[in-house]
Each structure stands twice: as C-alpha cells, then as structure tokens.
Amino acid sequence: MTAADLKPISFNSARFLVSAAKLQDCPPDSGSEVAFAGRSNAGKSSAINTITNNGKLARTSKTPGRTRLINFFSLNREQRRLVDLPGYGYAKVSRDMKDDWQKHLSHYLLERKSLQGLVLVMDIRHPLTDFDRMMVDWCEHNQLPLMILATKADKLKFGQAKQAMMGIARELENQQWLKHLIMFSSTSKTGLDECRQALTDWLDTETTDPESELENDND
C-alpha cells in the first residue's frame, strides 16, 4: 500500500478526467467510483459542484456535446472517481434517443465493477418521478447501494421539507438498497457533510478482487 492509498479523500480535489459515450470509452474499471443520476433540472450539476466545492466541474458536463456522455472526475486518491451520468428527460428527445440513452446507461450500470453506489438527485418538491422510480427499482433489482439527495430543500420551509422527506421515506420503506436518504440543498449546504461522509465510505470500499491482499484491510 502506498501513501497515496491512505490519503483522506478530498472532494475539493475533483478534476475532470474524461467523457465516455459508451462503456468501452470509460477509464479502466479499477478502484471505486460513485455515479450521480437525476432527471434534468433536478439539481444534479449543482449538487456535484457543491460536493466538490468547484463551480466549474459539472459545467464541464453541460458543455454542448457532453450532456449525453458519461463524465468522469478524478479525486486525490488514486483510482477514486465521481461519475456524472447524463441527465434524463431533456426537452423532447425522440424515443430512439431515449432507447439509446437507456442502453448505454444500463450497460454502464450493469457492467461497471468499480461502481460502489448510485446517487439519485431529485427535486424535493417533485420527488419520485417515473425516472426516479425506475432508478430506485433498478438499484433494488441489481443490489446496488443507493443514496437519494432530495435537493433544493431551501425552496421549502423546514417543516414542509421534513414532511416531504417523511413522504419519500414512507414510499421507499421496503427498499433494502436505499442506504442514505438525505435532505440536501446546494444553496444552503444542508446535508453536505452527511453526503460527503457517505460518499467517502463508499469510495473507501475497494473493488472486490480475489487477488487483492488489501481486501478486508479496514476490518
């Protein structure tokens, strides 16, 4: 184990790494990564910017030509990455484009061994859209740990935000793979520490590799 392996993960260190149109274009599938998904306009880019304390990062993902790509960001620890998945539901995309999007995305989600968990960003005022439910069901079915960021909480009074969270929790009470349900706001930074801690825990998990001597090192 090198000193770089022991370095605490700093989200401020995130840097754009590469964009991938499909699984074959992704960086090598080793180490750990966490992917962010969300319906367009849910607040995914803002959440990534807030988590990494870098207003430019997710803007990279929004440059023309990159919105439909999988965008990878490296972190200060080797082989640790954040992944910005293409937003779903942009304007009126054709059915073919939706099918294409779904194919590439499900390919990534199914095949990527270094993927430790999915962060689903949803607008707390419009939670559990069809897209969100599809992603929740997908995680459940494929046993992928799920974190939900119910963002834009600053847009509601605290009592209303609490109620909304309780509603989401009630609807998802049977989801075994929902590991974190966090009230979040990129504007007020609500939930930021909790979110970063959960991400760190996931990223600290090494990809299961029977050859690796580092396995269970954290026990």
Could you list the residues that contact ligand GDP (CB under 6 A)? 38, 40-46, 87, 151-152, 154-155, 185-187
Q: Which is nearer to ligand GDP, 142 or 188 (CB)?
A: 188
Nearer to ligand GDP, 85 or 115 (CB): 85
Strand (E) positions, 65-130? 70-74, 80-84, 115-123
Smaller CB separation from ligand GDP, 88 or 114: 88
Q: How far apart are CB 61 and ligand GDP at their closest, in Å?
A: 8
Taking the least distance from each CB to ligand GDP, the nearer of 70 and 206 is 70
With tokens 């396995």, the residue in question is: 215
Direct distance between the N- and C-terminal alpha carbons of the chain, in angstroms, rounded to an integer:
16
- What backbone torsions phi and psi does residue 24 show, to the nearest 5 degrees? -65, -25
94 phi and psi angles, rounded to 5 deg: -70, 165
CB neighbours of residue 116 within 10 Å = 22
Distant-in-sequence contacts of 170-177, Cβ < 8 A, 24+ apart: 171/128, 172/128, 172/136, 172/148, 175/136, 175/139, 175/140, 175/146, 176/140, 177/139, 177/140, 177/143, 177/144, 177/145, 177/146
CB of 204 to ligand GDP, least distance (A): 26
Cβ proximity to ligand GDP, 31 vs 42, nearer residue: 42
Measured from the Cβ of residue 97, the count of other Cβ atoms closer than 10 Å reads: 12
Least Cβ distance, residue 39 to ligand GDP (angstroms): 7
Do the beta carbons of residue 122 and residue 38 sit within 8 Å?
yes
Closer residue to ligand GDP, CB minimum distance, 19 or 46: 46
Rounded least distance, CB 185 to ligand GDP, Å: 4
Smallest distance from ligand GDP to CB 48, Å: 8
For the bound state, the minimum distance from the C-beta of residue 193 to ligand GDP, rounded and expressed in Å, comes to 15
